[in-house]
Structure 1
Amino acid sequence: MKFDLSGKKAVVTGASHGIGLAVVQALASVGAEVIGGARSASEALLTATPHAVEVDLATPDGPRTLVERALAEFGGIDILVNNVGNGVKLAQGFLDTDDDVWQRTFELNLFSAVRATRAALPSIIERKGSIINIGSVNSRIADPRLVHYSAAKAALTNLSKALSAEFSPLGVRVNTITPGPTRTRIWTKPEITTKLGLSEEEFIERNGLSTGTMIEPTEIAALVVLLTSGEVPSVTGSDYLIDAGMVKTL
């Protein structure tokens, strides 16, 4: 199956590295014009698209600024990919997770998507476009060390469902993609496995990745292309798990 998104205008948040960068590259490779937002524009992002905006998406005005820039440059938005996120700060447990950690985690992982979606929706409704929220397998896993991050990502999944229920009758498709451990800077930096006292192989085994390897960012990007292509117009309100077999329950 070949995809052609020529003429489509896309906004991707958290676009400098990892999943966001792979999404920008994948959408651009099938003809879409893409504006990527991040706190700093990496060389790879500037190579992937001439439309890069340096913006702090964890601030109240950041997402709106990015969307307004896209509307000014493109004249409209067909695709919004809310990818920005982080806050994977391991704690000893709930009592070691203070208000600042909770606030920062929700600003980046939930409110950035709320604000970007609010700003982009009028244009996306007009053009009958698509919204993809990039979640996390942690939304389905109760881990006291990541209670703040898991809660924010679970809320993001619920947001997708609510948006789909309200706006799919107007022609807007809203879906979530939920990756497991992905080969990005978060999971490959030595501090993670060192803090856990594990090698990468032990980390994969401990987390039950059935494939025996981490997910590649290009896998998430490929699904973004499919879901935004219009080839599967009946898919909305869905949550696509890409977890290398990590979640074993239905």
Structure 2
Amino acid sequence: MDLKLSDRVAVVTGASKGIGLAVTRTLLLEGAKVVAASRKSTMELDELAGENLVHVAVDLMNPEAPEQVVAQAVESFGGLDILVNNAGGPPPGIALPRTSFLDASDADWHAMFEFNLFAVVRAIRAAIPRLLERGGGSIINISSGNGRQPSPINVDYGAAKAGINNLTKVLTEEYGPQGIRVNTISPGGVRTAWWTEEGGAADIIAARAGADRDAVLDTLAPQMMNMVTGKLVDPQEIADVVALLASPRSASTTGADFVVDGGFLKSL
């Protein structure tokens, strides 16, 4: 199926690995031009190099970074049609999971909201005028099942993602009539660097549970989250939904939350 993304210009944050890398690769395969934002590149991102890909090395904890990324899209490709706010998770220097509300200090809360919510707000603020110049476009915010499922585990992260869900609805009401569609995707546990990197969630849980990291990734983590599929989500599964929401074929889809979580969420 032709998603009609050829020559459309996209910004993808957190693009060097995990979900963001899968999104970048998928949009490029669909013919889009992509500005990939991340603190640094990776070998996997470098392998995608070509005339339709520009990498911008930015730290989204810097309030000026989102505007710089959007400006690069305009400079390199002449405009902007798609914004994928994917960057999120543990801010630099913070390890998750936490297990209690009391585990997070004021500084932890501030950093979590800076990275997971305020950076998104700034990116959208920078993108909207550019999207309007093109007659509209698509904003896709990567949220989380934790934004809808209250839990003492990573409570600050869940609160920030709940803010994204609310923001998405507000933007839909204000800018939908002007042709900008805004949607969220709520993953469950996804097999990304958050889990797999040394010192990441798999290692933290393994140490607490007296298990090995492979058992955590393959069995224990999905069981802990009560994922009915029994496995962590593949980043490509998120990327495929991003591509569909970015496409003009989803012209009447806005203000929606797409759950790709292996059955983590149980509520209606």
TM range (shorter): over 0.9
- Residue 86 of structure 1 aligns with an amino acid whose one-letter code is G
- Residue 152 of structure 1 aligns with an amino acid whose one-letter code is A
How far is the alpha carbon of 1:84 from its aligned partner? 0.4
TM-score of the pair, normalised by structure 1: 0.96
For 2:36 and 2:188, locate their aligned partners in 1 and report how far apart those are by CA, in whole Å. 23
For 2:58 and 2:234, locate their aligned partners in 1 and report how far apart those are by CA, in whole Å. 26
SS of match in other structure, 1:150: helix
- Residue 171 of structure 1 aligns with an amino acid whose one-letter code is G
- Residue 229 of structure 1 aligns with an amino acid whose one-letter code is S
State the number of aligned residues: 250
Check if 1:213 corresponds to 2:225. no
Instruction: Give the equivalent residue in structure 1 for 2:14.
Output: 14
Check if 1:29 corresponds to 2:29. yes
SS of match in other structure, 1:48: coil
How far is the alpha carbon of 1:92 from its aligned partner? 4.2
Instruction: Give the equivalent residue in structure 1 for 2:103.
Output: 96
- Residue 12 of structure 2 aligns with an amino acid whose one-letter code is V
Range with bigger deviation, 70-79 or 45-54: 45-54
How far is the alpha carbon of 1:217 from its aligned partner? 0.5
Distance 1:146 1:29, change over 3 A: same
Instruction: Give the equivalent residue in structure 2 for 1:192.
Output: 204
Range with bigger deviation, 138-147 or 70-79: 138-147
SS of match in other structure, 1:119: helix
Range with bigger deviation, 110-119 or 198-207: 198-207
Percent of counterpart pairs with the same letter?
45
Instruction: Give the equivalent residue in structure 1 for 2:164.
Output: 156
Instruction: Give the equivalent residue in structure 2 for 1:58.
Output: 61
For 1:22 and 1:114, locate their aligned partners in 2 and report how far apart those are by CA, in whole Å. 23
For 2:263 and 2:251, locate their aligned partners in 1 and report how far apart those are by CA, in whole Å. 27
Which stretches of structure 1, 4 residues or more, deviate above 6 A after TM superposition?
Answer: none
- Residue 43 of structure 2 aligns with an amino acid whose one-letter code is E
Q: Which stretches in structure 2 are left out of the alignment for 5+ residues?
A: none
64, 84, 88: which one pairs with 2:87?
84
TM-score of the pair, normalised by structure 2: 0.89
CA deviations on 1:141-170 (whole Å, 9 max, x unpaired) are 222131100000000111111111100000
Check if 1:179 corresponds to 2:184. no
Check if 1:109 corresponds to 2:116. yes
Q: Which stretches in structure 1 are left out of the alignment for 5+ residues?
A: none
SS of match in other structure, 2:117: helix
Q: How big is the alpha-carbon RMSD for the aligned residues of Structure 1 and Structure 2? A: 1.4
SS of match in other structure, 2:12: strand
For 1:196 and 1:185, locate their aligned partners in 2 and report how far apart those are by CA, in whole Å. 19
For 1:248 and 1:91, locate their aligned partners in 2 and report how far apart those are by CA, in whole Å. 22
